[in-house]
Amino acid sequence: MGCCVLVWASMLVCWFAVGYEFWFGLHCWITLGFDVWAMMYEISAKEIPKLAAEAATKAIQEWGQPRSCITHLIFSTMSDTGIARGDNHLPQMLGLNPNNERVVILQQDCFTGGTTLRLAKCLAESRKGARVLVAIFVDGASALIVGVNPNETIGERASFVIASASQVILPNSSHAITGHLSEGGIKATIHKDIPNIISNNIGKCLEEAFTPLGISNWNSIFWVLHPGGRAILDQLEERVGLKPEKLMISRHVLAEYGNMVGVCVYFVLDEMRKRSIEEGKTTTREGLEWGVLFGFGPGLTIETIILHSYRSLHTHVSSLLLLLLFLSQENDKNVDAVIRVRVLATAMRWKTRMLDHEDGPLVPEKILIAVKSYWVATGNNSTL
């Protein structure tokens, strides 16, 4: 199981920034019979690539590596319906290689943040040295870069590690969010039962994701929750038994920016890592190792991303050496346990090697050696 590292810059760009006068006069144009949809498309087709490029430029600058190292581009929006979309324009605007592999995700609504991370993880693990640029524009613009095995010798630094990713459609929930494209844009219907449906199913998602890690205390992990509304946050907090501070950053993003659809979780992640740096935490969130990102959207769909917090930037590197010896006299169950531990260690970015008994591989005595390099904290950890 591979692990992906993330480095990003998040930027709020309200759709209204395109021009208040345009939106103020929209009703008048509808009344007078103008082709409003054509006007909206003309503006979105022009402005969306610019805003996405601005967010992507910030992410690349923070990443600090040549743009030629980017191998994949994932572009997601709900506003660009043209044939030549933002993914066609971004490589030229950013100076990327024209042979980058591009993927477009359209109309995925509020779970887009989780979907793009899950896809970026797959792409990054599919090719050695791959670096995936993800750019999202909905009611805000954000960009990030995903890759495997950051090269710290040239300055690559991770913010979080994606340990696993999954998606599920909740049963009997297709009525909760519906919508269709009309002359005035997308008309959506949001059912009042959404907070209750999500809170009733979130426990199962948590158990399936964290049981292999031996984690069942949901206050022991950090939370990146899509702030789809106060009722969702309140009911989930109560149902799972979370302390108020666990959803503090999601509530902050909701209060400051509102529900920006799929880009919200990126803003939560960015705010989380910035606060951790300012507070001098040893990891990118509250000093905690593990966390979860949840995206919710039509279906009802839940995206579950398990994150492993990366240690904040420090001045030197140390190594840990772990030796695990499992003995079995009667069967291979303990050998299977070693294999499972090896899979888990690999997901945590440990380098592993399995050693057989000196009498041969058929002897059910194994040694698992795992080595991990990590940043060691010092008194001055000002940046990540």
Distance CA 364, CA 41 (A): 65
First to last CA, the chain: 25
Query: Is 122 designated active site?
Result: no
Residue 99 burial (10 A CB sphere; 0-12, 13-18, 19+): exposed
3-state secondary structure 156-207: CCCCEEEEEEEEEECCCCCCCEEEEEECCEEEEEECCCHHHHHHHHHHHHHH
Contact between 113 and 226 (Cβ < 8 Å):
yes
Contact between 143 and 52 (Cβ < 8 Å):
yes
Query: From start to end of the chain, where are the E strands?
Result: 4-11, 72-77, 101-106, 131-137, 141-148, 160-169, 177-182, 185-190, 222-225, 290-297, 301-309, 316-327, 351-356, 365-376
Order of strands, sheet of 301-309, starting from the edge strand that comes earlier in the sequence: 101-106, 72-77, 131-137, 141-148, 4-11, 160-169, 301-309, 290-297, 222-225
Contact between 291 and 117 (Cβ < 8 Å):
no
Alpha-carbon dihedral sign for residues 202, 203, 206, 207: negative
Q: Three-state DSSP class for 64?
A: coil
Q: Out of 110, 122, 205, 264, pick the active-site residue.
A: 110
The residues carrying an active-site annotation are 110
